[in-house]
Amino acid sequence: MKIFSIILFISPLFIIASQASDLNGSRPNIILIMTDDQGYGPIGANGHPWIKTPNLDRMHGQSTRFERFLVSPTCSPTRSAIMGGRHPLKNGVTHTILERERMSLGTVTVAQHLKEAKYNTGIFGKWHLGDEAKYQPNNRGFDEVFIHGAGGIGQSYACSCADAPGNKYFDPVIRHNGKFVKTKGYCTDLFFTAALGWIKKMKEADEPFFAYITTNAPHGPFIAPPSNTKRFKDIGFGKTQAGFYGMIENIDENVGRLSAQISEWGLDENTMLIFMSDNGMTGGGSGRPGKEIAKGYPFYNAGQKGLKGSVEEGGVRVPFFVRWKGKVQENKSVQKMAAHIDIFPTFAELAGLKLNKDLKKQVDGRSLLPLIENPGADWDDRYLFSQKARWKTGSEPNDHMWKTFSVRNQRYRLVGEALFDMEKDPGQKVNIAEEKPGLVKKMRAAYETFWKEARPLMVNEKAPMSPVRPYHVWYREQVDEGGIPVWNVPQL
């Protein structure tokens, strides 16, 4: 019997009953914006004391917001969970490099499933689920592909995971539908422009679409346009922190640009727009707890324990705003726990799709439509699991099973042997494990059951390193065959 999955799953005792939904089968356009390493805190509406995000703040007020939305501790795992609707370990993803970021080829993606409902699909930005040809998004259900390689622009590792050689955040070379193009401008601006150009085509064709806009910002290195860093430098932030916060304010500008454009095109009333991040806030760009990063500006992480890479709440909790004019309630808050594995079944229901026998075995998440329609709807409790993974390549995963893991239900978080009441103690300051030994035992047993199901699906553990970096090979081949053309910027 299944348990449900964070790097994710659920106890068989808490399977939610099917609920009728007015949104089921409504077939809206879907735009999912996901930032990289932003986390929950750096949004003005989430209480951040100095960052200015007027467009995200506006979206916050226009949305039904999931306040306890949980993802994985790092990049590739969350992306695979969104794509496959199941725990990252079950997609074979146990790292972000070393061939262990590759999403197993047996995983059916949400993009492939939406194609069955005649959706057009596009990705703009970061993929990070395999740079070899068979793992690329054009072979995983995406019609339009405008991406960089690896986990960030210019990254390169001693394996297949690598971007185009020498790439930069300004004027980057981007892989567009199987060919490199030379762009002009700042990367985040370019990804939104490419997405808007494609969305415009979909509007003109009057066909439903799924646009997956996945910025590499604000992942390090922390480089933003000077117009976005100047204010932070002027008030005393260093180059790194000014870059981090400047990247977020640039993202905010682009969210505003996209929002205004889809409104101008009359798409508001038939488009669900979602904003989220892929894991907790990065530590490098925001300073460390206990240290001021500019005079008068103390560290801020919304009172949470843990940053990116941690299985504490602060490492896996992110914003999740759902906006759909006239269909989704504005300024409503959902306190029920939800997770990245729930996105696949949510999109499937929106498109009017039924999971076939194989997909029912694959997808562990639940549709969020009942909570989107009614934030106070009944929602049975479940256990979600986080596992940082990232063990040394070649080691036995079972040896790391009880390291860097956590178990979460609506009220409690178990981290190793420590138990926290997240309602009374959201900052995880008081370990109550001795007061509730039965609950600790139950949560550890649920995790053990999950692990036994996930372990056989960790298919990349013995994968040999690729002898080449595909993006480097393809880049050199294209240069030899005639060069890298200038990108034809869409007219909006």
User: What would the mean pLDDT of 305-318 be, rounded to a whole number?
Assistant: 97
Q: Which residues share a beta bridge with 412? A: 421
Cα 370 to chain centroid distance, Å, stands at 22
pLDDT for 287 equals 72
Q: Which of 138, 129, 166, 163 is nearest to 34 (CA)?
A: 129
Whether the CB-CB separation of 168 and 490 falls below 8 Å is answered with: no
Whether the predicted pLDDT of 12 surpasses 60: no
Q: Which of 405, 399, 347, 466 is nearest to 77 (CA)?
A: 405
Whether the predicted pLDDT of 405 surpasses 50: yes
Cis ω on the peptide bond leading into residue 319 (within 30° of 0)? no
Here the contacts of 229-238 (C-beta below 8 Å, separation 24 or greater) are 232/294, 235/50, 235/294, 235/297, 236/294, 236/295, 236/296, 236/297, 237/293, 237/294, 237/297, 238/293, 238/294
Give tens-digit pLDDT for 46-62: 999 999 999 999 999 99
Q: In this prediction, what percent of the chain has a pLDDT beyond 70?
A: 95
pLDDT for 20 equals 40
Q: 419 falls in which pLDDT band (50, 70, 90)? A: very high
pLDDT for 71 equals 98
Quickly name the fold that domain 22-373 has.
Answer: Alkaline Phosphatase, subunit A (3.40.720)
Whether the CB-CB separation of 142 and 121 falls below 8 Å is answered with: yes
Give tens-digit pLDDT for 426-461: 999 999 999 999 999 999 999 999 999 999 999 999
Give tens-digit pLDDT for 320-357: 999 999 999 999 999 999 999 999 999 999 999 999 99
User: What would the mean pLDDT of 448-477 be, rounded to a whole number?
Assistant: 97
pTM for the model stands at: 0.95
Token pair recorded at residue 269: 């009333």
Lowest mean pLDDT among 287-296, 367-376, 469-478: 287-296
How far apart (Å, rounded) are the C-alpha atoms in residues 20 and 370? 8
How far apart (Å, rounded) are the C-alpha atoms in residues 209 and 322? 17
pLDDT for 38 equals 97
Instruction: Give all strands of the β-sheet with 384-387 in edge-to-edge order.
Output: 384-387, 405-408, 412-415, 418-421
Task: Classify the C-alpha dihedral 320-258-127-282 as positive or negative.
Answer: negative
Mean pLDDT rounded to a whole number for the chain: 94
Q: 110 falls in which pLDDT band (50, 70, 90)? A: very high
Amino acid at 390: R
pLDDT for 354 equals 96
How far apart (Å, rounded) are the C-alpha atoms in residues 409 and 394? 32
Lowest mean pLDDT among 245-259, 283-297, 419-433: 283-297
Q: 7 falls in which pLDDT band (50, 70, 90)? A: very low
> For the CA atoms of the chain, what is the radius of gyration?
21
Q: Which of 137, 131, 92, 130 is nearest to 115 (CA)?
A: 137
Whether the CB-CB separation of 382 and 4 falls below 8 Å is answered with: yes
pLDDT for 8 equals 43
pLDDT for 156 equals 97
Domain residue ranges of the chain, discontinuous segments joined by +: 22-373
Token pair recorded at residue 315: 């490492």
Whether the predicted pLDDT of 283 surpasses 60: yes
Whether the CB-CB separation of 135 and 105 falls below 8 Å is answered with: yes
Q: Quick one: DSSP state of residue 17?
A: P
Query: Over 153-172, what HEC string results?
Result: CCCECCCCCECCCCCCCECC
How far apart (Å, rounded) are the C-alpha atoms in residues 342 and 318? 14
Q: Helices 54-62 & 239-264, crossing angle to 10 degrees? A: 50
User: What would the mean pLDDT of 96-121 be, rounded to a whole number?
Assistant: 98
